[in-house]
Structure 1
Amino acid sequence: MRWCGAWWCVCLALVAAAGVGARSIASRHDERPKDCEWERYAPADASGGGAGAADDEDASALLLGCRVRTIAGTTGLLGNLSAALVDRITALRLVCSDVLFFESSLDAPAGGGGGGGFLAPLRRLRDLRVEHCKIRHVPAGVLAASRALRHLTLRTHNTDWSAMTMEFHPDSFRGLAELRSLSLADNNIWTLPNGLFCPLASLAALNLTRNRLQDVSEMGFSDWGNGPTAPGKSCNAGLEVLDLSDNDIMTVSDNALSSLRALQKLFLQDNALTQLADRAFVGLQGLQVLNASSNQLVALPPELFQSTRDIKEVYLQNNSISVLAPGLLEGLDQLQVLDLSDNELTSSWVNRDTFSGMIRLVVLNLAHNDIAKIDAHVFHDLYSLQILNLDHNSIDVIAEGAFSTLSNLHALTLSHNQLTLIQPYHFTGLYVLNQLFLSNNRIKDLHPHTFENCTNLQDLGLSANELTEVPKAVGRLRFLKSLDLGENRITKLSPAAFEGLDQLYGLRLIDNAIMNVSRDDFSPLQSLQILNLARNRLRHVEAGAFSATPTLHALRLDGNRLADLGGLLADLPALIWLNVSDNGVQRFDYAMLPRSLEWLDMHKNLVSELADKYGARASLQIKMLDASFNKLSEVDDNALPDSVEMLFLNDNLIHTVKPNTFFKKTNLTRVVLYANRIEKLDLSALTLQPVPDDKELPQFYVGGNPFYCDCHLEWLPRVNQMSYHGVRQYPRVLDLDSVQCRLAHARAGATRPLLDLRPAHFLCPYDSHCFALCHCCDFDACDCEMTCPDNCTCFHDHTWAANVVDCSNGGHTSVPAKIPMDATEIYLDGNQLGELGSHVFIGKKKLEVLYLNGSNIAAIHNRTFNGVKSLRVLHLENNRLQELRGFEFDQLANLNELYLDHNAISSVGNQTFSVMSKLEVLRLDENRLSEVAPWELAAAVGGGARVSLEG
């Protein structure tokens, strides 16, 4: 019972502590300043000491991250917090606005002491990070109040503003004796005052990358002074990491870093270095890593590494080094990584003495140089070497036993050289080699015993050579996993060529000249999972040719000349990935495919139907199907597996997509139907099962089709809104902006961009129509019956709100009597109408646009336009009108546009335009008017109308 009681007390204590913690978090959120976030702070330099007070202190530590316009805003943020909460802040992250240019200033402490500054309230601050604040100057002692500071980052990104540089006072960092890491990257710093970093007695890491520094000797890292008898001031002796990369440094002079006796890592890459002095690294006895890559070095002095005998990694790639001075690397018996790639080294400087004594070297990279031959003793002492890269050289000679001492070599790369013949002695002694790459040479043959000393090979690359058959030498490689023979001249295969390769996992034979595959060619490859036979000349693959490789997962047969897939894929129960594109396949049925298949690419063939005669489609698991660039003419539900997620049917001959084609395809994410011959597309063709709210709608692409945009296609421009205002049952069509439409009524333009069209443009032709509520149609004597007049064509939109009657050029001598009363646009241009009698448009109360131009009209009666009060646009140009008396348009108060140009009008009555208060365009040019004042016309029709009187 006593034990249970104690346990119960502990539980109560834990619950109480949790409650206090919860209240503490809640209170922090209550006091969170605007644009700030609280986080728990994990110290980056936590020591491995004991528990106790230090642990209790860290447990209460907080990080405050704020977005501010300038640093000046920090004082106000901290002033709104309680003193207790401020005292718990051990890390502060300030991010200034990087959108607009606001200059920030760091105010010096009052009186130059150490008790002022904007961080004065943060007594426990250990970590300060300032990002994007445009600071020009760091005053003396500006951070002196933060004596506990361990990590400081000032990253202004001044490089975004070339005129904005950062400058320092020699005492900028006074008072920061506990600082361990300092990052001044991305500040556009050009110079540093002498002794700037001397107050930082505990500094271990200094980052000055991406600035404009030019001279290392001016950074205060040298204690050489006037020599051993009169040394200079020694600062930062404890610095371990110095990053000077991506600056403008051109040289490192003698003794420039001599005070940095604890330095372990020096980064000088991406500068403009042309010279490293003989004694550049004097004093750096502890240097472990040197990176001087991507510079302009041509040569290195022989004494460069005399003071850094324990160095482990040297990176000198991407320079212009053509000379390795004798003795340069002598004595570097601790070196493990040496990268000299992308230089201009020749065989003259890579010889028996170059790497002498480097007994611990593990990685050597000599790629992208001008080495022409490998002598027998070049790598004599490198018995620890595991990775050797010699690709992209000019090697055509490898001496006998050149690699014989490399007993630990695991990977050897000789690609992109000039090798023509491989002999057994080339790889003598490489007993543990498991990767060998010889691609892109000019190898015509391999000696049958080439690999007898490296039988543990697992990866062999022989692509892009001049082999005419599978080399017999590969048969000895019992542990081979991958074999690359692509881009050669191999013409035939045989079972004997792969005998012994029963562990081969991947075989690449792309870009050869193979014409046939027989049933037993791959029979020895019991473990094969990836086979690439793309871009050969295959015309025939014997049925069951892959049956002996039941573990095959991926098969590429694209770019061949196959006409039929029948029997090709039998007995492949593990096949997941198949590419048969760019062949001549004409017949396809889902029964040809294994049920395990998930990825099928069959584009660029001659398939006219995705057939499923045996009902195999339902059991398939295909997720990606690419049948583009074929000869498919229609698509329906039975043509597609229900499991499909990504479907590519572009560039076919598809003219029909049947209703509910995609209804059962619940996993769809993308469907590409562009560049087909689809003219008509019913909304039901794209209907889906309701898509859950937490799932993205499928993406469709339908551009590049010759859509006939009649009244049945009016839904297409608004299809993307349908699922947002109702059931999510339609896809997102992402290329509506590229869809072009042929219109039923050609007067609106033969082809128009879909998104430029209004609902009234989507029209269907009709001969007659009777509304459901119209009861007098049987007697042919009522307004609600619409019959298209002789020699006219009539169109309507899907709601019958638009009703277009086109009688242009119909040979009419009078206005047809049976124009539907609901007509909204009437075209009567190009006829011979003579005089327009009274009431000829009576009852056309919905008429908005009327074309009467070019119809030989000589006169207009006073009631011609009676009853068409909705008319907005009237075309009467190119007729024979001689005068306007004033009564012709007195019914057209809503007219916006009136075209009377190119007539013979000589006089205009004063009241002609008086009722047209909404007129915006009036054309009277090319008439015979002589006494009409433009300002009078403008006044008559209202001040906003454009009046044209030219000619």
Structure 2
Amino acid sequence: MRVLAAFCLLLATLLSDALTPSCPTRCHCQLEDERWHVTCKWDRIPSLDVLSALPVNVTSVTIQCSDNMATSHYAAGMFTSFHRLWNVTISNCRSADSSSPPVVMTRNLPFLRSLQLEHLGEWKHIDDSVLNGSSALERLVLASNGLEKMPSLCHLTELKLLNLSSNRMSNLQWLSACSRKLVTLDVSRNRIAQLGRHQLKAVGSLRVLVAAHNMLQIIGDDAFDDVDNVRELRLSNNLLTTVASLPSQLEQLDLSANWLPSVPSVISRMRHLQYLNFSDNRLEQFHFDCLRESASTIRMLDLSKNRLSLIGLANSLTREMKLSSLEVLLVVNNRLERFDLKGLEFPALKKLDLSGNHFPDVRFSHLKGMPNLRSLRISDSSVGTVEDDAFVSSTQVKELCLAGNLLVQVPKVIRMLTNLTTLDLSRNRIEAIPKFLFDNLPAMSRLNLANNHIVGIDRYVFTSVPNLVELNLANNAISQLSVNCFDGLTNLKRLHLQGNNIGDLHGVLSNLDRLEYVNVSENSISSLNLKILPSSLSHLDASRNRITKVTNFLHGLRKETWLREADFSFNNIQQLNADSVADTLRFVNFSHNSIEHVQARSFFNCTQLTSVDLRYNKLRTIEASALQLRPTNSTASTLFYLSNNPFQCDCYIGWLSGPNNHNNNRDDGIPSLLVADRDELSCTPTARKDSDKSIVIARAPIETFVCAYDHFCMVDCPCCEFDSCDCNSVCPADCSCYHDATLTLNKVICSGADIQPKNVPMLATEIRMDGVSIGGDSRRIPRNAFLGRHRLHQLYLNGSRIGRVDEKAFNDLAALWLLDLSDNELETLTGSEFYKVPKVTHLFLHKNRLTTIGDYLFAQLTNLRVLTLHGNRFHYLPPKVATSDAPHLRTITLGQNPWKCDCGDKLLLQNWLPRNRALVPDHESLYCQEDLTAPANGSTVLRLLPPSKGHHFVKVNFWTFLIDLNRTFCRPKQVNPTSADRREPQQAEEAEEEKGEDDDYPVESSSRQNLVPLAVVVSGVLTVALFSVLVGYKVCKNLRRKKFYKHYVGELGTGDSSCDNGNYSLPTSLLQHDLLICCSWEERHWVEQQLVKRLEDELPYHRLCMLYRDLFDEGLPERRTHQRVADELIAAMERSQRVIAVLSDSFIRNEWQQTAIRIAFNHLLRDRQRNLVLILPNQLAPDMDPILAHHLRTNRCLYWNEPLFWEKLRDSVPEQFAHDLVPSESSNYADMYGTIVPSHFV
């Protein structure tokens, strides 16, 4: 039977699960009374297929979209399959089709009772047939959809609530189309300007009408004749100036934020008013007579934010008035100077707010007739005194606020308010608190005396206020707290003392056993003992004081405190230890102090610690042990903030560069230490020359974090007491030594010191002896110079004038991987110097005098990866490099060496380098050189070329020789360049231009081999060509009237760089002048005499080109096209450092109208490197050409008649070029052809 029962139960469960429909993603489906309620939160409404997953018997669907920019698609009758649906709510799902409003989806839902569509896009209008088939609808909300017109909706006969708020409707005319059963109508936040009888005549059953935030100005006499049963009318935030009629049964009326100048007379006829709001209008006086008809029903009256200067009865002498139901009266922010309520009674009034007025005092007459008053607020009203009988008739007051007034003492009248629970006297001028004043107020729980002038608290002020929970004495001038002054506050929980002059707490808080929060910030406290604080304290704010030390002297003698949060920021605390931090703290802030040291285990006992802020202190170092925490079962991480401290990159902070979680092993019970701002931490290196530049700790290598030492001995060293001990490291004199936290790194920096290798510690891992005279006058490294330093990894001996390295000089340096011998005077290395140094991967030999290196070097250094040989005297590539005896070599530098290059492929460099170019980072700067003063024996083909300018040797880029000269000068037998080599000539020429003649290494030549006849032919051709060039140049130089410009530019209009029909071409470097002068043809002689002559004949003798002297001496040519003339002028501008234009009236009338001139000057707008200087002989007309006006605005303008014209002009023109006026023939040749003979000459 049990088995059968279990089987039946299992079967029922399975059937239940099978019948339970699946709920769509991001939807919540809830079953109540066999009806499903579905709530979905999507970015947008997905495809309609999703709705098919909903249960058929769903009765309520709510869809909310979160993406405001996404659009959704709606279809007519999309919910038709859910025939029992009675509620649909869709919000913030914008429709993709504005022409088809989403309301069409609710057609043919006969049981639909509620439809709410909000923020679904801009509809403007909808058709009357959109809700066909949903005649049972009772609640319709179409808010925030941009509707401008509404259909009649007459077929919705059961509609009770209609909300059309936040649309754009301007009238309610559609309401009058048919009779309705509407009870609530909300048309707020539209553009309705009028409410008339003809609009509301069909909604006689209306009870609530909301038309706030519209544009109503007048309510007419007959506006509500047909809706007399309205109980609630909200017309706030309109432009109403006149209200002529109101529904007679009205109970709640809101006319706030309008422009009413007076109380509408219709108010006096209201008999059922309970809530009346006239706030934020323009009322100047208010008479309670208007409320006589509703005196027994009115419960709340708000007259705030008006211009009231008078309030009371119109005639208090003849008729008295009792408002028996009024409970709340608000008259805030008016202009009342007197408050005369004579003849008025408020027996039920509980709250009266008169704040923001102008009462000089508080009198009995103000509160007369208010026996049940519970809350009275008269703040910011200039009250100076409170009369003794003010509260005679209102002794039940529980809340009294007199803040922001002119009181100089605490009103004694408060003694009679025995039920008082809250008293606010802040922002007055009170200087002292009388003794025993609060003893008769046993119910008072909150007292606020902040922002006064109180200077001290006597011990008898709070002798018996047992129920006071919160006391605020902030921002006074309190400098003295009497002993036990707070002992009478046995239930005090919150105490505010910030912003005073308190120097010491003197244990005044120790007896407050229920105190939970204390704020003593912005005082003058210099020391703080945590154990004199009450044990119940959980939050302490002691920031912005003068605290130098936080102590815990009575630790262990008193019961444990409950302190959870403490703020000690902006003080002068200099160090932290275990006594500075309470064990129960969770959040502690020590930022903006002067903390220089945090002792080990300062936070060790803080097992609940969550966050520690140590930012903006003076920490130069911090050990991991300082932040160590006691092992617990908690898996939570403790966040430490350490940024903005002047950390030094010493060995104690290296742990900060590792993983963020200092302890990632949660199984050992040690809490995880997480530096929250680890990526923002930086430190200043201690072992670097640029120690003033900080580096980011998280990205710094571990070798950065070292500590300086004079001497240290390893922990397990047996000979520390002896003078000679290998494991006792003593830093040599004039050296700087550093070690890391684990003593595995030992740097010895002796740059430029007078020291020998034998004085360096044996355990050194890095030795820097650059600039050290090793070996004295012999300038050599002796045999076994560094013997026994088995931990040495890096050795720097660069710049030490070493001329020789003995055999086995680096013997037995088994761990060495970097050796720097650069910038010395080494002439040879055989390889025997590197005996038993197999791990060297980096060898730096650049900038020596090496001509070769022995083959044995590569046999010893089998792991060599980087070899630098640039800046030596190599003629030939070492054979072992070319024969691949260095299998691990990845980088080798060969630049700045006088390499030999010759025809064919007999030299190793010419064969090896094209195939191994990737190994040589400076391969583009390799040069072939030949010394022309050396003997001819062994010379190369380069001896046939002319020497480099100013030198006695020939220098050609390696790739130029390999690709060009090796094809032209040499015989057919030559190196076949690869496809990559064919791209090298341009790179070689660029490299040769950059390098120029920086390297002055003389080279020897190899054999000319049957090239003497060819050399004779080449020399003859060169001589003839050079003579022809010089003759052509001399002829061009003497052309008539082409002064300086014709010497260097020639006629460019024909498309070539010729001088008079193109017989001779000058190099571009000579085609330059200082100034181009443009002026009008009529004023050319005046400009030449007054301006050009002085610039040419006086220092610094500027080189000028003049428009009508050197370019077009007969005026602008008419036979040429405008473009060709413009090209000539632009070419002259491009060869000028500056362009000067004499902008006269004649130039503007004539030259400026020429198309060629305008084209050339438009070119200057694009080419800002050639600035334009404008000289103005006189004032110009204001209506000038826009382009010319742009030139005037963007360039320098000088007036010819101004006193300092010539000084300003000379400041505006550039300095003269330094090249010779008449270059020599040899320099012309070098400028044109360099040191390479063109192939066409050959």
The TM-score bracket by the shorter chain reads 0.7 to 0.9
- Give the alignment partner of residue 331 of structure 1, picking from 257, 269, 285: 269
Equivalent residue letter for 2:298: L
Equivalent residue letter for 1:741: C
Q: Larger % of helix: which?
A: 2
- CA deviations over 1:712-760 (Å, ceiling 9, x no partner): 3233245544555544612333223432322333357621233443445
Can you give the 5+ residue segments of structure 1 that lack an aligned partner in the other structure? 1-11, 43-58, 108-116, 159-163, 224-231
Is the 1:848–1:873 contact (alpha carbons within 8 Å) kept by the matching residues of 2?
no
State the Cα distance separating 1:766 from its structure 2 match: 6.4
State the Cα distance separating 1:521 from its structure 2 match: 2.1
Identify the residue that residue 735 of structure 1 maps to in structure 2: 677
- Give the alignment partner of residue 536 of structure 2, picking from 581, 587, 596: 596
State the Cα distance separating 1:680 from its structure 2 match: 1.9
Do the aligned partners of residues 931 and 192 (structure 1) sit closer, same or farther apart at CA in structure 2, a change above 3 Å counting? same
Q: Distance in 2 between matches of 1:825 and 1:249?
A: 87
State the Cα distance separating 1:790 from its structure 2 match: 7.6
Identify the residue that residue 519 of structure 1 maps to in structure 2: 459
Do the aligned partners of residues 72 and 510 (structure 1) sit closer, same or farther apart at CA in structure 2, a change above 3 Å counting? closer
State the Cα distance separating 1:543 from its structure 2 match: 1.0
- Give the alignment partner of residue 362 of structure 1, picking from 281, 299, 312: 299
Identify the residue that residue 351 of structure 1 maps to in structure 2: 287
State the Cα distance separating 1:64 from its structure 2 match: 3.8
Is the 1:91–1:127 contact (alpha carbons within 8 Å) kept by the matching residues of 2?
yes
> What root-mean-square deviation, in Å, do the aligned CA atoms of Structure 1 and Structure 2 show?
4.7
* Structure 1 segment 550-699 matched on structure 2, within 5 A: 550-615=490-555, 616=557, 618-690=559-631, 696-699=636-639
The answer on 1:192 being equivalent to 2:118 is no
Do the aligned partners of residues 35 and 655 (structure 1) sit closer, same or farther apart at CA in structure 2, a change above 3 Å counting? same
Q: Distance in 1 between matches of 2:880 and 2:501?
A: 75
Is the 2:466–2:491 contact (alpha carbons within 8 Å) kept by the matching residues of 1?
yes
State the Cα distance separating 1:428 from its structure 2 match: 0.7
3-state SS of paired residue (1:330): helix
- CA deviations over 1:684-723 (Å, ceiling 9, x no partner): 3323345656x64333322222222334323324554455
* Structure 1 segment 526-537 matched on structure 2, within 5 A: 526-537=466-477
State the Cα distance separating 1:788 from its structure 2 match: 7.8
Identify the residue that residue 54 of structure 1 maps to in structure 2: none
3-state SS of paired residue (1:455): coil
Q: Distance in 2 between matches of 1:491 and 1:772?
A: 68
Which stretch shows the higher mean deviation, 465-474 or 884-893? Answer: 884-893
State the Cα distance separating 1:433 from its structure 2 match: 0.8
3-state SS of paired residue (2:60): strand
- Give the alignment partner of residue 452 of structure 1, picking from 392, 402, 410: 392
Is the 2:24–2:50 contact (alpha carbons within 8 Å) kept by the matching residues of 1?
no
Is the 1:845–1:869 contact (alpha carbons within 8 Å) kept by the matching residues of 2?
no
Q: Distance in 1 between matches of 2:674 and 2:712?
A: 35
- Give the alignment partner of residue 73 of structure 1, picking from 32, 43, 47: 47
Q: Distance in 2 between matches of 1:354 and 1:898?
A: 104
Q: How many residues align?
A: 872
Do the aligned partners of residues 284 and 882 (structure 1) sit closer, same or farther apart at CA in structure 2, a change above 3 Å counting? farther
Do the aligned partners of residues 647 and 932 (structure 1) sit closer, same or farther apart at CA in structure 2, a change above 3 Å counting? same
Identify the residue that residue 154 of structure 1 maps to in structure 2: 117
Is the 1:432–1:456 contact (alpha carbons within 8 Å) kept by the matching residues of 2?
yes
Equivalent residue letter for 1:432: N
Do the aligned partners of residues 358 and 140 (structure 1) sit closer, same or farther apart at CA in structure 2, a change above 3 Å counting? closer
Q: Distance in 1 between matches of 2:552 and 2:397?
A: 46
- Give the alignment partner of residue 378 of structure 2, picking from 438, 453, 468: 438
- CA deviations over 1:355-389 (Å, ceiling 9, x no partner): 44332222222222322333345995643211122
- CA deviations over 1:201-255 (Å, ceiling 9, x no partner): 2222333334x3231325x22x2xxxxxxxx423xx2223333344454554554
* Structure 1 segment 830-869 matched on structure 2, within 5 A: 831-833=799-801, 847=817, 857-860=847-850, 862-863=852-853
State the Cα distance separating 1:101 from its structure 2 match: 3.0
Do the aligned partners of residues 65 and 352 (structure 1) sit closer, same or farther apart at CA in structure 2, a change above 3 Å counting? closer
Q: Distance in 1 between matches of 2:804 and 2:9?
A: 94
Q: Distance in 1 between matches of 2:191 and 2:797?
A: 78
Is the 2:44–2:67 contact (alpha carbons within 8 Å) kept by the matching residues of 1?
no
- CA deviations over 1:496-528 (Å, ceiling 9, x no partner): 543532332222111211222222122253433
State the Cα distance separating 1:454 from its structure 2 match: 0.8
Identify the residue that residue 487 of structure 2 maps to in structure 1: 547
Q: Distance in 2 between matches of 1:437 and 1:899?
A: 92
Do the aligned partners of residues 562 and 940 (structure 1) sit closer, same or farther apart at CA in structure 2, a change above 3 Å counting? farther
Identify the residue that residue 47 of structure 1 maps to in structure 2: none
Do the aligned partners of residues 264 and 528 (structure 1) sit closer, same or farther apart at CA in structure 2, a change above 3 Å counting? same
Is the 2:823–2:848 contact (alpha carbons within 8 Å) kept by the matching residues of 1?
no
Tell me: higher relative CO, structure 1 or 2? Use CA pairs within 8 A at least 6 residues apart: 1
* Structure 1 segment 243-262 matched on structure 2, within 5 A: 243-252=186-195, 255-262=198-205
The answer on 1:290 being equivalent to 2:233 is yes
Which stretch shows the higher mean deviation, 867-876 or 69-78? Answer: 867-876
State the Cα distance separating 1:492 from its structure 2 match: 1.7
Q: Distance in 2 between matches of 1:637 and 1:746?
A: 35
Equivalent residue letter for 1:105: Y
* Structure 1 segment 765-844 matched on structure 2, within 5 A: 765=708, 793=736, 811-813=771-773, 818=786, 831-833=799-801
Is the 1:632–1:654 contact (alpha carbons within 8 Å) kept by the matching residues of 2?
yes
Is the 2:347–2:370 contact (alpha carbons within 8 Å) kept by the matching residues of 1?
yes
State the Cα distance separating 1:493 from its structure 2 match: 2.0
- CA deviations over 1:757-806 (Å, ceiling 9, x no partner): 34454344568999999999999999999998886646566678987675
Identify the residue that residue 1148 of structure 2 maps to in structure 1: none
Identify the residue that residue 88 of structure 2 maps to in structure 1: 128
Do the aligned partners of residues 193 and 449 (structure 1) sit closer, same or farther apart at CA in structure 2, a change above 3 Å counting? closer
Identify the residue that residue 29 of structure 2 maps to in structure 1: 39
Equivalent residue letter for 2:17: A
Equivalent residue letter for 1:357: E
- Give the alignment partner of residue 101 of structure 2, picking from 130, 138, 157: 138
Task: Give the TM-score normalised by structure 2.
Answer: 0.62
State the Cα distance separating 1:174 from its structure 2 match: 1.0
Is the 2:406–2:429 contact (alpha carbons within 8 Å) kept by the matching residues of 1?
yes
Is the 2:336–2:358 contact (alpha carbons within 8 Å) kept by the matching residues of 1?
yes
- Give the alignment partner of residue 253 of structure 2, picking from 285, 295, 314: 314
Q: Which structure's CA Rg is the greater one?
A: 2
Do the aligned partners of residues 718 and 217 (structure 1) sit closer, same or farther apart at CA in structure 2, a change above 3 Å counting? farther
- Give the alignment partner of residue 63 of structure 1, picking from 37, 43, 50: 37
- Give the alignment partner of residue 387 of structure 1, picking from 324, 328, 341: 328
* Structure 1 segment 463-542 matched on structure 2, within 5 A: 463-498=403-438, 500-542=440-482
Do the aligned partners of residues 104 and 519 (structure 1) sit closer, same or farther apart at CA in structure 2, a change above 3 Å counting? same
Equivalent residue letter for 1:389: L
Q: Distance in 1 between matches of 2:927 and 2:382?
A: 81
State the Cα distance separating 1:436 from its structure 2 match: 0.8
Is the 1:469–1:490 contact (alpha carbons within 8 Å) kept by the matching residues of 2?
yes
Equivalent residue letter for 1:552: L
Q: Distance in 2 between matches of 1:894 and 1:278?
A: 104
- CA deviations over 1:101-130 (Å, ceiling 9, x no partner): 3441323xxxxxxxxx33232222222233
Do the aligned partners of residues 854 and 91 (structure 1) sit closer, same or farther apart at CA in structure 2, a change above 3 Å counting? farther
Do the aligned partners of residues 517 and 96 (structure 1) sit closer, same or farther apart at CA in structure 2, a change above 3 Å counting? closer
Equivalent residue letter for 2:302: N
Do the aligned partners of residues 669 and 71 (structure 1) sit closer, same or farther apart at CA in structure 2, a change above 3 Å counting? closer
The answer on 1:27 being equivalent to 2:1 is no
Q: Distance in 1 between matches of 2:111 and 2:425?
A: 63
* Structure 1 segment 149-298 matched on structure 2, within 5 A: 149-158=112-121, 165=123, 167-187=125-145, 189-195=146-152, 197-210=153-166, 212-217=167-172, 220-221=174-175, 223=176, 232-234=177-179, 237-252=180-195, 255-271=198-214, 279-293=222-236, 295-298=237-240
Q: Distance in 1 between matches of 2:746 and 2:111?
A: 83
State the Cα distance separating 1:169 from its structure 2 match: 2.5
Q: Distance in 1 between matches of 2:480 and 2:376?
A: 33
Identify the residue that residue 53 of structure 1 maps to in structure 2: none
3-state SS of paired residue (2:672): coil
Can you give the 5+ residue segments of structure 2 that lack an aligned partner in the other structure? 754-770, 775-779, 826-845, 902-908, 929-947, 949-954, 964-977, 996-1242
